[in-house]
Amino acid sequence: MSAHNAESVTSSTGARVLVVEDEDPIRDLIVTALRFTGFEVQDSASGLDALRRLGQDNIDLAILDVNLPDMDGFTICRKARAEGIVTPVIFLTARDAPADLRAGFTGGGDDYLTKPFSLDELVLRIQAVLRRTRDRQRADEQSRLVCGDVTLDESAYRVWRDGEEISLSPTEFRLLRFLMRNPNRVMTRAQVIDHVWDYEFAGDPATVETYISYLRRKLHDRDGALIRTVRGVGYALQDDGAIHRSGNQQERP
Ligand code: CA
pLDDT digits (tens, 9 = 90+) for 172-189: 999 999 999 999 999 998
Ligand 1 geometric centre to CA of 44 (Å): 11
Same domain for 117 and 11:
yes
3-class SS of residue 159: strand
- The pTM assigned to this predicted structure is 0.61
The percentage of the chain sitting over the pLDDT mark of 70, rounded to a whole number, equals 82
CA angle 56, 19, 46 (to 5 degrees): 75
Residue 39 reports pLDDT greater than 90: yes
Same domain for 41 and 11:
yes
Ligand 1 geometric centre to CA of 65 (Å): 6
Ligand 1 geometric centre to CA of 49 (Å): 15
Spatial contact of 29 and 51, defined as CB atoms under 8 Å apart: no
Looking at residues 30-54, what average pLDDT do you find?
95
Average pLDDT of the residues of the chain? 84
Looking at residues 22-48, what average pLDDT do you find?
96
Torsion of CA 192, 194, 247, 158, to 10 degrees: 60
The Cα 162–Cα 210 span in angstroms is 24
3-state helix, strand, coil in the chain (%, to 5): 40, 20, 40
The reported pLDDT for the residue numbered 15 is 94
Residue 242 lies in a domain: no
Ligand 1 geometric centre to CA of 86 (Å): 23
Q: Per the omega criterion (within 30 degrees of 0), is the bond before 116 cis?
A: yes
Same domain for 123 and 49:
yes
The reported pLDDT for the residue numbered 197 is 84
Q: What is the CATH number of the domain that holds 167?
A: 1.10.10.10
Residue 90 reports pLDDT greater than 80: yes
The Cα 107–Cα 155 span in angstroms is 26
The reported pLDDT for the residue numbered 105 is 67
Ligand 1 geometric centre to CA of 42 (Å): 17
The total domain count for the chain is 2
Residue 92 reports pLDDT greater than 70: yes
Residues comprising the chain, all counted: 253
Same domain for 222 and 157:
yes
Residue 247 lies in a domain: no
Split at pLDDT 50, 70, 90, the class of 251 is very low
The reported pLDDT for the residue numbered 55 is 87
The reported pLDDT for the residue numbered 200 is 60
Domain boundary among 93, 111, 142: 142
Same domain for 127 and 184:
no
CA angle 208, 211, 191 (to 5 degrees): 35
**Domain, as residue range, for 66:** 6-142
The reported pLDDT for the residue numbered 124 is 94
Same domain for 138 and 124:
yes
The reported pLDDT for the residue numbered 190 is 87
The reported pLDDT for the residue numbered 5 is 38
Ligand 1 geometric centre to CA of 117 (Å): 14
Domain boundary among 118, 142, 166: 142
Ligand 1 geometric centre to CA of 90 (Å): 14
Residue 29 reports pLDDT greater than 50: yes
3-class SS of residue 54: helix
Ligand 1 geometric centre to CA of 28 (Å): 13
Task: Report how far apart the first and last C-alpha atoms of the chain are (Å, whole number).
Answer: 38
Ligand 1 geometric centre to CA of 219 (Å): 53
